[in-house]
Amino acid sequence: MSIRRSLELLYLDLWDALRPPAFDIMLLVVAALGGALSVLQPITSPVEALSPEFTFSSAQLALFVTAIYIAIRVSSDFVNIIQGGIMQVYMSYPLSRGSVASVLYVTRSLLPAVILLGVPAAVTAIVLYPVVLKGPAEYLAMWLSYLLQSQFYGIIFLVLASRFRSTGTAIVASISFYFGYVAISGVLYLIGFLDNIQSLIDASNAMGFYYVAYYGLTGQSFPAWEYLVVPLLYVVLLVLYFYYFERRFEPT
């Protein structure tokens, strides 16, 4: 019965999370640009098809759009469903708070990311099918690395949105975190490159799991700890999200 109720709530909230036209327009733009950018590079392997190393990377563009979309929609929608009394309706379902939190995570972060990252990746795979068919598992592994990175951002946005009760504050906090995180990674890499400090370059790479996946799949050497940074942070934040939702969160 709890599974059935969870699926009902998932369906109801999913329509609100992916309602047109904003999502439709964003999806079409990213898919079109992803297909166009994928043919601008000298791609010879499945991993390179989603490489973060290229100047024009369809995968990085899709990740950027996904992060911004989730930051804005999660923050605004989450606050709106609290202020509009919808959260109280969700809480009235015969479900645990953990189940409601799971549904909100899936509808507000996971599924939008799967779609926004998946459609351009599918377009790229079609355009470059002779290359992608050489190693579909490697291509999928690269795509999953971008998905994990997007969920690292997404869970942070959910934590921020559940903490703030102002739409503007939640959006500003989420977007500020994203651009701050990207800026710190870029600064670390730049300083490390200019001053020949490998530890700073390693720290910068570790902040983007797709870089680590790319280096691993292409056989490049790098410290093993880089594999753990984003996944561990994601797990810690996921636990924090569920803990706050079950123990501290008030729907009014």
DSSP characters over 75-126: HHHHHHHHHTTHHHHHHHSSS-HHHHHHHHHIIIIIHHHHHHHHHHHHHHHH
pLDDT for res 22? 62
Residue 203 confidence (pLDDT) = 92
The whole model's pTM is what?
0.88
All residues at 6 or more sequence positions from 97 whose CB lies less than 8 Å from its CB, including other chains: 91, 245, 246, 249
Q: Which residues of the chain have pLDDT under 70?
A: 1-2, 8, 11-12, 15-42, 54-57, 251-252
Quote the pLDDT of residue 32. Answer: 64
Which helix (H) or strand (E) element contains residue 246? none
- Cis status of the peptide bond prior to 21, with omega within 30 of 0: yes
Give the per-residue pLDDT at 208: 93
- pLDDT for the residue 127: 80
Structure tokens belonging to residue 217: 């799949």
Q: How far apart are CA 202 and CA 188, in angstroms?
A: 9
